[in-house]
Amino acid sequence: MGRRVPRDAKLPGLQLVRPKVKLSERHIARYAQVCGFKPSQGVPPTYPHMLAFPLHMQLLTSDGFPYPVIGLVHLANSIEQHQILKPGDEVRVEVEFGDFVAHEKGQAFVLLSRILRNGQLAWTSQSTYLRRGISQPQGDPYISALHDPTPLSAQAEFAAPGNIGRRYARVSGDYNPIHLSALTARVLGGFNRAIAHGMWTKARALATLLPQQQVEHLAVEVEFKLPLFLPGKASLWSSVNPTRTLFEVRDGKGTKPHLRGLLVRR
């Protein structure tokens, strides 16, 4: 039986802040290399997630949070970049819980992140996570926003090396055991092999989709689908127009989806 969420259950009303974080040129370069971005593309739009992630973990392990962090599933992530960020910028990072969301497989919830530079909003993100097996979940129903039936064409292929989970963990701080080795993935996640981080897969796709120069205003929303097992091969499929790109990361044969997304350039 699924575990019932108490009627009075609430997400902690915490806002965690890193008031002064300097963007490290060296760390940005390491992240870009792991995710496939070129230097000409500037600070990757997914990079600020690295700045918010330590606060995510503090929220997810806080006393008032009702679930263990191990076993949470990352369902979706959306990012909006309002300003170009540069190495050396000093920013403020804010993270807090959003709302509960009712999902057919359990209880979902939202984490909200903001990056401010000189008091102005530079970057925002919304991550949706799922705890499986919770009966009678709270919140509005989870509705996928990515049902566009537009046909997609093969654009590129890329490898997901066997060590990419460990490499991404070292640069991101996300050491979830399901990404590190076949043994830890099997014992703690029930997977036969390690799986790629969803945020690495998102970043790797954007490294190919974005132009060679840095983009100032953009929004990119993704839903994570089937695991990308390591080592593995992936293919990028897309339907492109000047401002709007619908895309999927699929397996090497182009049949099984790992990620579906929408990129909007403004």
Structural domain harbouring 32? 3-265
The structural domain count of the chain equals: 1
Q: Which residues pair with 51 in a beta bridge?
A: none
CA distances (Å), origin 110, targets 40, 101, 129: 33, 8, 6
The full length of the chain comes to 266
Site of tokens 């802040």: 17
Q: Is the peptide bond before 137 cis (omega within 30 degrees of 0)?
A: no
Determine the Cα–Cα distance for residues 197 and 179; give it in Å rounded to an integer: 6
CA distances (Å), origin 138, targets 19, 66, 103, 124, 141: 32, 13, 9, 25, 9
CB-based contact 23:88 (threshold 8 Å): yes
Tens-digit pLDDT profile for the chain (266 aa)?
444 445 567 899 999 999 999 999 999 999 999 999 999 999 999 999 999 999 999 999 999 999 999 889 999 999 999 999 999 999 999 999 999 999 999 999 999 999 999 999 999 999 999 999 898 899 999 998 888 788 999 999 999 999 999 999 999 999 999 999 999 999 888 899 999 999 999 999 999 999 998 999 999 999 999 999 999 999 999 998 888 999 999 999 999 999 999 999 98
Phi/psi at 75 (5° precision): -85, -45
Nearest alpha carbon to residue 203 among 56, 40, 48, 14? 48
Q: Which residues pair with 121 in a beta bridge?
A: 116
pLDDT digits (tens, 9 = 90+) for 165-200: 999 999 999 999 999 999 999 988 889 999 999 999
Determine the Cα–Cα distance for residues 207 and 225; give it in Å rounded to an integer: 19
Domain harbouring 87, CATH code: 3.10.129.10
Question: What secondary structure does DSSP assign to 16-62, as a single string?
Answer: EEEEEEEPPHHHHHHHHHHHT--GGG-S-TTTHHHHHHHHHHHHHTS
Determine the Cα–Cα distance for residues 223 and 1; give it in Å rounded to an integer: 27
CB-based contact 232:196 (threshold 8 Å): yes
